[in-house]
Amino acid sequence: MFETTLKPQPDFEAKMYDIMYQVAEKAQQDRDQLNELPYLLSKTQLAKHVFNVSPQTLDTHIIKRGDFPKLRVGERVLYPKDESIKWINEHLEFVDTLAPDRHIGIV
């Protein structure tokens, strides 16, 4: 029978701290960037900064839904940032529900 022993690398705790610090810093930058956006977004801003997809993908899969929040100002259509984020949170579906047989992640 085989026996293994895991030994942490030298300075493992410092390396983990650095990684976690970078993750937290990136999350804070993303939050700050989102807070700097105007309240009403264009389709391009919404696609780039909120959904992280192309405007065409957003148009095809999200914007045409009747329940997605939008506001007409003259001939322009704008999207309230806070309501859009709220809509996203209300429409999250977890992978286990959608595809229980798929294994996603590090295997």
**Choice between 9 and 49, residue whose per-residue pLDDT is larger:** 49
- CATH 1.10.10 fits domain 38-100: yes
Q: What is the mean pLDDT of residues 98-105?
A: 60
∠ CA 70-68-84, nearest 5°, is: 75
Asked if 76 and 43 touch (Cβ cutoff 8 Å), the reply is no
Whether the predicted pLDDT of 52 surpasses 80: yes
What pLDDT sits at residue 90?
87
Whether the predicted pLDDT of 9 surpasses 90: no
Residue of 44, 25, 31 lying closest to 85 (CA atoms):
31
What are the extents of the domains in the chain?
Answer: 38-100
pTM of the shown model: 0.61
3-state SS class at 41: strand
Share of the chain above pLDDT 70, in %: 86
What pLDDT sits at residue 46?
95
Place of tokens 């405007």: 55
Which DSSP string corresponds to 71-98? EEETTEEEEEHHHHHHHHHHT---HHHH
- Written as six digits, the tokens of 104 are 């996603």
Q: How confident is the model at residue 34 (pLDDT cuts 50, 70, 90)?
A: confident
What pLDDT sits at residue 30?
80
Per-residue CA distances from 39 to 77, 83, 91, 105 (Å): 13, 10, 21, 35
Candidate from 22-36, 37-51, 73-87 with smallest mean pLDDT:
22-36
